[in-house]
Structure 1
Amino acid sequence: MRKILIAAAAALPVLTGGCLAKTAVDVVTLPVKATSKVVDWSTTSQSEADRNYGKKMRKQEAREGRERKKAAERCKKDPSQCGPYDGYRAGDPEPRN
């Protein structure tokens, strides 16, 4: 009986296909993977920062374009009140009140 038990215990790693070893490795590396995921979520990569900046600038340029178009229409209607454009400019900081 003891020989059968020893043989079964010796054959167990072969029969499980290394899943016990893989589970042990997964348990050991889990804290490292979790920490790296948290760091990844909490920081912004350079490519993400560039993408966000590009989106912000496109929105600002669209706003400037709309405001310049409105100013040009007002100038067309009343040329005597027309002067150089002094409205919103993309890239300039917002005026503080």
Structure 2
Amino acid sequence: MRFLPVLLLAPALSACAVASTAVDVVTLPVKVVSAGVDAVTTSQSEADEKRGRQIRKEEERLGRERRALDERCRKGRARPEDVCPPR
């Protein structure tokens, strides 16, 4: 008795719709797994971009420190650990 509505609607469905639905049902687990893998892994280009940002930040920090050291040496306020170039 439960299958009666399904049997009545079956001729209304085209073969393409049934095949499309079957393909969607079969490929759904693959899509879910691949989305999960993409979410937890990093591509090589993403890793390269991240490393490039780290290098730029480190270079900016070193530049700030170098300018501060030059300023202290120029004004005669060098710390004991500072190595100032000879004048």
**TM-score, shorter chain, exceeding 0.5:** yes
Structure 1: distance between partners of 2:78 and 2:72: 10
Unaligned runs of 5+ in 2: 1-9
How far did residue 79 of structure 1 move? 7.5
Q: Per chain length, whose mean CA-contact separation is higher, i.e. which structure has more relative contact order (CA < 8 Å, sep 6+)?
A: 1
2:83 is matched with which residue? 83
1:94 is matched with which residue? none
Structure 2: distance between partners of 1:55 and 1:73: 27
2:7 is matched with which residue? none
1:47 is matched with which residue? 45
Question: 1:15-44: CA deviations, max 9, x gaps?
Answer: xxx222211111110000110111111111
Alignment CA distance shift 1:13-1:22 (3 Å): same
CA RMSD of aligned residues (A): 2.8
Unaligned runs of 5+ in 1: 1-7, 86-97
Counting aligned pairs with the same residue, the percent is 53
